[in-house]
A and B are shown apart, each in its own frame.
Chain A
Amino acid sequence: MQEDAPGTMLSEGGPWGGSGDKGNGDKKPWTRAGSGPSALDALIRRGRARFGGGGGGGDPADLHLGGLWRWAVLLILVVWIGATSTHTIGLQERGVVTRFGKYIGTLGPGLNWTFPAPIDLVTKVDVDNIHVIDIDRGSDASGENLVLTGDENIIDLAYSVRWSKRDPELFLYELQDPEATIKEVAESAMREEIARVTLDQAIGAQRTQIQQEVAQRAQELLDSYHAGVVIQGVAIKQAGPPSEVMDAFKEVSAAQQNAQSYLNQARAYATQVTARAQGEATAFDAVYAQYKLAPEVTRRRMYYETMERVLAKTDKTVVEPRNVVPYVVPPGVPRPAQEPAK
């Protein structure tokens, strides 16, 4: 009966059996840890032997309770060791291992083994994840981030810095506050760079170049701190004049529009004038070509045609200058029915 007790305990403790199998299967790390399964087995055997041997002397109930405690402690110990010595490191992670606080290595992705806590401790560091720091709020109440340019103008600048952790152990051990450091370094590099360019360059054409220069400069500084981070990029989200001078900048673009419309009008006029000149010249040339063939006839024909059309629309008075004093009918006076036309 008493021999059965440990057996019952074993079968009751489901995880026990599992842990035992696991222990056999993963022999290597155990031996690395310095306490092989044989040692554990010996301990169990000794426990069993003691249990069986000493059973006759003492109170059976007391012994049973003692055995229970012993197995419970052992169970907790094994679960603890199993839980704290295996580490699943994700694909984007690295595990920084410290043994009594001393850095001993970095674990790559996959299932890894270490000594159990508190001997070895693993800190997981996400190395692929890209972190973003937005820098768009200045110290002033308006919420603008005002930056001085090289020509002593001021722009409102908003940008973001993307970074990720490159060397996990440097990231963990070198800087007291890596994130704040990255932000300050990026800000310093950005202002330094903006101070090198003019206002028009900063808000216009040179943005891409500025972004690259800042990323590079920030990376150099962080490397000099051994920060263990990599600057993935700097993106200028907005670079424009501050709101106080926005109206003046709008005046400039209005002036550009005006100038453009002046030019358009002038070009339209030019097209009109030249087209007209060419049209008239071509018409004249054509008529002239015909005129050359028969000058006198053409001339008279044109004269009569024109006169015909002109006189057809007008009131006509034929005057004999020698006999009649010509007079002009003022407008509004009824016209004489018919002028003698001889």
Chain B
Amino acid sequence: MTKAHPTIDLYDQNEIDSTLAALLDAKNVASSNGLEDEANQLWREIQALNIAATFVAAIKNIRQKKYRDAWCELEQCEITCKFLSENSNEDFFQESGAQFIEKYVGKWQSLFPYCVFTSPGMVVGYYTCSICDHKIRPRSRCSHVRGRIYNGELCTHQAHDIEITEISIVTKPVQKYSVMHDDETLDFSLLDYLCSHINSPFDEWETHWTTKKLPKSRFMAVTEDQQCPCQSGNLFGQCCSDKAEIEIPHVNFALKNGLNEHAKVERFPY
């Protein structure tokens, strides 16, 4: 939280809910009294608290192996950070913690194994402005800019007369929540590993994606008709089975606060 609304317990949902309700009430009062600057500032406070609470909830869900929930919460953080960034100055964005979260959302997302998503294609008849309800046309616009706040409300363009034309399978989705995978078939061990080594969602860490050569004897359990450990996508028997050393993907984590006493420094298999 910012200087105006100091620390609250981000693990206490009741405290978060009551603080958000109080901020929303204050924003509505400011808005109805025409105090646009105050209403806009309260909008920022609400978004900042939502971002922090959602980020903490996401990391909590990773710890509880609710990966899909965490993924969706990280996406919510990403979207809200974008709108807050476009509607606040650098000082507020930094002091509210949103700048840190914006940076770390992307880093956490990079550790998820999701890579195939669905994405709808559609024809939109027309859009209206969420602030003034103006019908947006090529030669007829209102004065509101999409993505900006007006009297404590975010301007969005709302689609009408929608016709879904296709559902595509994509690797770079607009909506990250549209994951196609069955989580039961995926490896979330990078997330588990990191979570077991950090004390707080606000710990700082870095990843270094590299490769590591290991003797073939470390892969005795891999049969020739299984996927090659080098992750080329080929079968082991047609790829690295004749090599003395096998080069596999490897991730180094650097934790600013150091390892905790229970930390296992190296994990294998990957």
A binds B: no
Chain A residues packing against B (C-beta within 8 Å): none
